[in-house]
Chains A and B, each alone.
Chain A
Amino acid sequence: MEKLLELKNVHVSFNTYGGEVKAVRGVNLQLDKGESLAIVGESGSGKSVTSKAVMRLLPAKTSKIKEGQILFEGKDLVKASNREMEKIRGAEISMIFQDPMTSLNPTMTVGKQIMEGLRKHQNMSKGEAKERAINLLKLVGIPNPEVRVQEYPHQFSGGMRQRVVIAIALACNPKLLIADEPTTALDVTIQAQILDLMRDLQEKTGTAIILITHDLGVVANLAQRVAVMYGGTIVETGTVDEIFYKPKHPYTWGLLASMPKLHAESKELLAIPGTPPDLLNPPKGCPFAARCPYAMEVCVEHMPEAYDVSTSHKAACWLLDERAPKVEPPEEALVGGAR
Chain B
Amino acid sequence: MGKYVLKRIGYMLLTLFIIASVTFFLMKLLPGSPFNNEDRLSDTQKEILLDKYGLNEPVPVQYVKYMTALAQGDLGISFQFDGRPVSTLIGERIGASAFLGMQSLILGTVLGLILGTIAAIRHNSWVDYSATVASVLGLSIPSFVFASLLQYYVGVKLQWLPVAFWTTWEHTILPSIALSLVVIATTSRFMRTEILEVLGQDYIITARSKGLSNARVIVTHAIRNAMIPVITILGPLAVNLITGTLVIERIFSVPGLGQQFVSSIATNDYPVIMGTTLFYSTLFIGVILLVDILYGIIDPRIRISGGKE
Contact = CB atoms under 8 A, between A and B. Distances in A.
A120 B208 CA distance: 12
Interface string B130-174: 000000000000000000000000000000000000000000000
A57 interface: yes
B210 A102 contact: no
A87 interface: yes
A83 to B, nearest CB: 8
A120 B209 CA distance: 12
Nearest to A104: B203
A113 B225 CA distance: 14
Given A102-B201, A104-B203, A55 B209 contact: yes
A117 B203 contact: no
A121 interface: yes
B212 interface: yes
B302 to A, nearest CB: 10
A120 B202 contact: no
A91 B212 CA distance: 11
A106 B203 contact: yes
Contact of B209 (A61, A95, A154): A95
Contacts of B208: 57, 89
Nearest to B204: A105
Contacts of B203: 102-106
B205 interface: yes
B36 interface: no
A57 B207 CA distance: 11
Contacts of B213: 82, 86
A106 B301 contact: yes
Interface string A203-230: 0000000000000000000000000000
Contacts of B206: 95, 97, 103-105, 113, 165, 168
A97 B211 contact: no
B197 interface: no
A87 B211 CA distance: 6
B225 A105 contact: yes
Q: How large is the interface on A (under 10, 10 to 19, 20 to 34, 35 or more residues)?
A: 20 to 34
A154 B210 contact: no
Interface string A168-183: 1101000000000000
Interface in A44-93: 55, 57, 61, 82, 85-91
Given A90-B210, A117-B210, A57 B205 contact: yes
The SS class assigned to the B binding surface is: helix
Interface string B286-309: 000000000000011100110000
A97 B205 contact: yes
A55 B210 CA distance: 10
A5 B261 CA distance: 74
Contacts of B52: none
A86 B211 contact: yes
B70 interface: no
A152 B300 contact: yes
Contact of B301 (A95, A116, A120, A154): A154
Contact of A108 (B211, B221, B305): B221
A117 B211 contact: yes
B300 A107 contact: yes
Contact of A106 (B209, B210, B225): B225
Interface string A126-163: 00000000000000000000000000101100000000
B221 A121 contact: no
Interface in B246-299: 299
Contact of B221 (A95, A105, A152): A105
A108 B222 CA distance: 11
A242 interface: no
Contacts of A103: 202-203, 205-206
Given A57-B208, A102-B201, 20 more contacts: A85-B211, A87-B211, A90-B209, A95-B209, A97-B205, A102-B202, A103-B205, A105-B203, A105-B221, A107-B228, A113-B206, A116-B207, A120-B210, A120-B211, A120-B216, A121-B211, A152-B301, A154-B304, A154-B305, A165-B206
17 contacts: A57-B208, A57-B209, A61-B123, A87-B211, A89-B208, A90-B211, A95-B206, A103-B206, A105-B206, A106-B203, A106-B301, A107-B228, A116-B210, A121-B211, A154-B300, A154-B305, A169-B209
Closest 3 CB pairs of A and B: A90-B211, A89-B211, A90-B210
